[in-house]
Amino acid sequence: MTGDAMSVPWTIGLAYLLSAVLFILALRGLSSPASSRTGNRFGMAGMALAIGTTLYTHNASALPEILIALAVGGAIGLLIAQRIVMTAMPQLVAAFHSLVGLAAVVVGAAAFLDPVAFGIVEPGTAEIFNHSRIELGLGVAIGAITFSGSIIAFLKLNGTMSGQPILLPARHFINLGTLAAITGLIGWFYAMPAPSMAPWPFWTVMGLSFLIGVLLIIPIGGADMPVVVSMLNSYSGWAAAAMGFTLQNTAMIVTGALVGSSGAILSYIMCKAMNRSFLSVIAGGFGAEAASGGGAAIDRPYKRGSAEDAAFLMKQADSLIIVPGYGMAVSQAQHALRDMADLLKAAGVTVRYAIHPVAGRMPGHMNVLLAEANIPYDEVFELEDINSAFAQTDVAFVIGANDVTNPAAKTDKASPIYGMPILDVANAGTVLFIKRSMGGAGYAGVDNELFYRDNTMMLLADAKKMVEAIVKALGH
């Protein structure tokens, strides 16, 4: 058959519908670790079915080069997936998002250049359906934003580019102007009478969208990346859905909607966990004050401890809650941490882990790292499930987290993190707090009251080195 999507035989439509159902089951499987792998297999089956159906219904003479392209892409993908270290997962996901975005742009451009192949022209003319123009315009715009935005997110997460916000003068004005121009051009592209249809509005939409993707992400600081990555995840879904409309393809529309809502929900969860509005994150600039704001209270007295002190305290304890944060990922301390936990468990200490939703650089980042270190997931708890337990816990061990433990979020109305839900580590009998030095504050640029409390012992060192020293001390 030709690419005329309007005359799809029902069996083909059914196959795409089945593949959409398999994708839904793939996400459904993630409701528990036990069912998650089966879910992932459903996802693979759905993708194989979608690709197989498309190949079966289209020009078979193109098959060899399609298979070669798929093999090349697949080999690269597998290689990356097998080699990537778990701490680099946020940047990998950002990089993958950029590919989806670029693929959407490429497909949109192909459909614009060769609309007959996609069956989106009025029969007998070269006129692209009006609704297809909107879909193409939106798909390409969202795809391009996803691409360039994800590239910037990747560079920031990878450390290639500084995580500091880059604030252009009049950036809100520039961004809103660019977005208005894109919207206007898509409108024009939609309304243009066919015979005189100029190609430039379409390409300008594409170009401006690449630009706005960069402009939107550069002012956003490194610590707001969980929201950014989720948001770009959402965009990649909407781009796929828009292209699905163009192709009248159920699998693409359903998948796009699933991915779009998934990313949107994750963004919402992350924003809520920081008590920030989505708009304030997108507006960017948060964390810019960190450079100037920190260091105000460096001279205050605090208690400093050694690895031996920490080992002694934890060994004496009945219960311990470990609070990991981004610093654990940076120093790759999760394996040493697990050794420490094993020794303590052998000594009769109850060990649990408390995860704040925005700990790390992407949703669920800490859980993956703990899982990688073979820490059983039933020892790992979310904020609301464990927060009340700190009061009955002997020792809280904070490793690489800072702002998510800061009592100022509850007490100091002037604090930039006021209202953010925090882990109540201060309620524990003793707080052991690993930090590189007393100098730097957290990303929010606020000092942490916790450091100076009587029941807090600061362990000033690299997280991994400190944990390894504690492991050594526990061995004696």
Partner 1 sequence: MDVIGTLSIFVLACFVGYYVVWSVTPALHTPLMAVTNAISSVIIIGALIANAEASGSAARYLGLAGIVLAGVNIFGGFSVTERMLAMYRKKDRP
Largest CA distance in the chain: 85
Least Å distance, CB 89 to partner 1, is: 6
Site string for partner 1, 12-31 (x = CB under 8 A): -------xx--xx-xxx-xx
DSSP label of 49: H
Between 361 and 435, name the residue whose CB sits nearer to partner 1: 361
Catalytic position from the list 403, 412, 454, 462: 403
Q: Is 319:451 a contact under the CB 8 Å cutoff?
A: no
Q: Which is nearer to partner 1, 97 or 464 (CB)?
A: 97
Is 331 near partner 1 (CB under 8 A)? Answer: no
Decide if residue 309 touches partner 1 (CB under 8 A): no
Cα distance between residue 261 and residue 234, in whole Å: 6
Q: What would the x/- binding string for partner 1 be over residues 101 to 120, using CB under 8 A?
A: -xxx-xx-xxx-xx-xxx--
Using the rule CB under 8 A, is 197 a contact of partner 1? no
One of 9, 74, 184, 439 touching partner 1 (CB under 8 A): 74
Which of 44, 126, 198, 298: binder of partner 1 (CB under 8 A)?
44
State yes or no: residue 100 binds partner 1 (CB under 8 A): yes
The helix/strand count (H/E) of the chain reads as 18, 6
Q: Is 70 among the residues that bind partner 1 (CB under 8 A)?
A: yes
Q: Closest CB to partner 1 among 211 and 362? A: 362
Edge-to-edge strand ranges of the sheet holding 319-324? 380-382, 350-355, 319-324, 395-399, 430-435, 456-460
Positive or negative torsion for Cα 435, 437, 441, 447: positive
Residue whose token pair is 């998510």: 404
Q: What b/e readout covers 345-378, taking b as 16+ CB neighbours within 10 angstroms?
A: eeeebebbbbbbbbbbbbbebbbbbbbbbebeee
Site for partner 1 in 336-355 (CB under 8 A): 355
**Residue matched to tokens 């109305």:** 413
Q: Is 85 in the site for partner 1 (CB under 8 A)?
A: no
The separation between the first and the last C-alpha atoms of the chain, rounded to the nearest angstrom, is: 75
Q: Does 202 bind partner 1 (CB under 8 A)?
A: no
Q: Which stretch binds partner 1 (CB under 8 A): 206-214, 248-256, 388-396, 410-418?
A: 248-256
As measured in angstroms, the least distance from the Cβ of 371 to partner 1 is: 4
Contact 399, 322 (CB under 8 A): yes
Q: Which of residues 364-393 bind partner 1 (CB under 8 A)?
A: 364-365, 367-368, 371-372, 374, 376-380, 382
Tell me whether residue 403 is one of the annotated catalytic residues.
yes
Known catalytic residues?
Answer: 403
